[in-house]
Amino acid sequence: MQSEKPTREDVYQFVVRVLQEQFELDADSVNEDVDLREDLDIDSIDAVNILIELKALTNKKVAIENFHQIRTVRDLVDAVCKVINED
């Protein structure tokens, strides 16, 4: 099956849905600029869960080096897009 690569908007929507479903976050509280740790209380164990969920979107293991450098939702979406577009 030929599947198109997800767009940046797809990735963003997916991340928002993961945050809502996995951590009971309110959709209104999420935008590109919110800080994952400070504003959304995402810790390093949550981050691993996010990466596991992202496999469903990217169809490959999302290993993000230097995860602690990712601060905002935008950083995360950018990092995931980079992984998708690598090959």
Partner 1 sequence: MKSLPRAWRVPATGFSFLVFGCGALVLGLVLGAWLFIRRPAPDSRVRLVRSAIRSMCKVYIGMLKGMGLLTYHYEGFDTLQSNGKLIVANHPTLLDAVFLMALIPNAAFIVKAAMANHPFTGGIARLAGYIPNNEDGIDLLENAVNALQRGDALVIFPAGTRTTGRGVKFKRGAANIAVASRCPIVPLRIRCQPATLGKNDKWYHVPPRKPHFEFYVLPEFAVQDVIDSNRPTGVQARHLNQYLETCLEPDELPGNSSAGA
Residues near partner 1 (CB under 8 A): 21-24, 43-46, 48-49, 68
Q: How far apart are CA 63 and CA 55, in angstroms?
A: 10
Place of tokens 């450098």: 69
Structure tokens at 2: 């030929």
- Total Cβ atoms within 10 A of residue 69: 9
Give the torsion through C-alpha atoms of 38, 85, 20, 67, to 10 deg.
-30
Nearer to partner 1, 27 or 48 (CB): 48
Closest separation in Å from C-beta 2 to partner 1: 31
Closest separation in Å from C-beta 50 to partner 1: 9
Closest separation in Å from C-beta 47 to partner 1: 9
